[in-house]
C-alpha cells in the first residue's frame, strides 16, 4: 500500500508539472488530500490541485483573508471556533439564526475562506502537516424563513469539496425545523457522496448523546451539552505559524 501511495504521489507531482504548474513546497499529506478526493486517480487529482492553485491565487492573493475584508459578516458574530475534539479536530459552530442572505456575494465567499482557513489553521498548533480536518456544527435552532440561505450553504459545501478536499471530518446538523427539510433536499443535490456520508442530522436524544460523546464535553459549549464557552471566531488567537501559510 505504501508503495502504491508513493507511486501515486510521484506521478501526481509529474502530472502537475505537465499541466504547467508545480507541487514544489507542498508535502505529501497535502497532495494526498487531492488524491483521496479523486479516488486516487492521479490525472484528476493533479487537475484538481492545479485548479485549486489558480483559485487560491485569485481569491487569496495575500495568503489570507483579513478582518477588514469581511466586516459585515463578522459583525453578526454567528460563527464560533472551539478547541480540538477528541480526535483533535477543531470544531466550527454556525448559528444560522444570526445569518441573513448576503447582498455582497464576493464578501460572503471571502468570509467562507476566512472561516475555513482559520478553523483548519487552529488545528496546526503552529505547524501545518497538510491533512488536518475539521468538524462543522450547523445549528438551525430558532431560524425563520428570513434566515434561510440555500445559496450560501451550497457555496460553503462546494468550497469544501473543490478547494478544501478531505478537510471535513464530520458535519452535524442540529435542530432542523420541518420547513427546512425541503431546503436541505435542494442543497443535497449539489453535494458529492463522500460529503453526504460525513453529514449527520441529529434528530433524537440518542443521536444527541452520540454527538456530544464524539465531539467531547470539554470542547462543546454549554448550549450544546458540553462544558465550554462559545467563542466567536474573530476572538480566537492562533499560534504563530512555523512553516508558511494555510494550504
pLDDT digits (tens, 9 = 90+) for 196-206: 999 999 999 99
How are strands ordered across the β-sheet holding 199-201? 79-84, 90-95, 134-139, 168-174, 199-201
**Residue 180: band (very low, low, confident or very high) from pLDDT cuts 50, 70, 90:** very high
Task: Indicate the length of the chain as a whole number.
Answer: 247
The residues with which 3 forms a beta bridge, in sequence order, are: none
Average pLDDT of the segment spanning 148-176: 97
Cα 23 to the chain's mean position, in Å?
22
On average, the pLDDT of the chain sits at: 94
Distance CA 50, CA 64 (A): 19
Looking at the chain, the whole-number percentage of residues with pLDDT higher than 70 is 96
Residue 245 has pLDDT above 80, yes or no: no
Torsion of CA 209, 215, 216, 218, to 10 degrees: -130
Residue 246 has pLDDT above 90, yes or no: no
The residues with which 94 forms a beta bridge, in sequence order, are: 79, 138
pLDDT reported for residue 156: 97
pLDDT reported for residue 59: 96
Distance CA 146, CA 128 (A): 39
Over the stretch 95-109, which tens digit does the pLDDT of each residue have? Answer: 999 999 999 999 999
Higher pLDDT, 33 or 127: 33
Residue 128 has pLDDT above 90, yes or no: no
Over the stretch 41-91, which tens digit does the pLDDT of each residue have? Answer: 999 999 999 999 999 999 999 999 999 999 999 999 999 999 999 999 999
pLDDT reported for residue 1: 61
**Residue 247: band (very low, low, confident or very high) from pLDDT cuts 50, 70, 90:** very low
pLDDT reported for residue 63: 92
pTM for the full predicted model? 0.93
Among 125, 190, 134, smallest CA distance to 162 is for: 190
pLDDT reported for residue 238: 86
Amino acid at each position: 500500500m505504501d508503495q502504491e501511495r508513493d507511486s501515486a504521489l510521484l506521478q501526481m507531482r509529474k502530472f502537475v508539472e505537465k499541466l504547467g504548474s508545480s507541487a514544489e513546497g507542498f508535502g505529501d499529506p497535502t497532495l494526498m488530500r487531492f488524491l483521496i478526493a479523486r479516488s486516487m486517480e492521479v490525472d484528476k487529482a493533479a487537475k484538481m490541485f492545479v485548479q485549486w492553485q489558480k483559485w487560491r491565487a485569485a481569491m487569496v492573493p495575500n495568503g489570507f483573508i483579513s478582518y477588514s475584508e469581511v466586516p459585515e459578516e463578522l459583525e453578526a458574530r454567528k460563527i464560533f471556533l472551539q478547541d480540538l475534539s477528541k480526535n483533535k479536530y477543531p470544531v466550527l459552530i454556525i448559528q444560522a439564526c444570526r445569518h441573513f442572505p448576503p447582498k455582497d456575494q464576493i464578501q460572503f465567499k471571502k468570509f467562507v475562506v476566512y472561516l475555513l482557513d482559520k478553523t483548519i489553521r487552529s488545528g496546526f498548533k503552529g505547524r501545518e502537516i497538510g491533512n488536518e480536518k475539521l468538524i462543522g456544527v450547523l445549528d438551525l435552532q430558532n431560524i425563520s424563513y428570513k434566515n434561510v440561505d440555500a445559496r450560501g450553504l451550497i457555496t460553503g459545501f462546494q468550497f469544501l469539496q473543490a478547494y478544501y478536499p478531505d478537510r471535513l471530518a464530520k458535519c452535524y446538523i442540529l435542530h432542523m425545523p420541518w420547513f427546512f427539510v425541503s431546503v436541505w433536499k435542494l442543497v443535497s443535490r449539489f453535494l458529492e457522496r463522500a460529503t453526504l456520508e460525513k453529514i449527520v442530522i441529529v434528530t433524537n436524544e440518542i443521536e444527541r448523546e452520540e454527538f456530544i460523546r464524539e465531539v467531547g464535553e470539554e470542547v462543546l459549549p454549554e448550549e450544546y451539552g458540553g462544558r465550554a464557552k462559545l467563542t466567536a471566531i474573530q476572538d480566537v488567537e492562533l499560534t504563530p505559524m512555523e512553516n508558511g501559510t494555510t494550504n
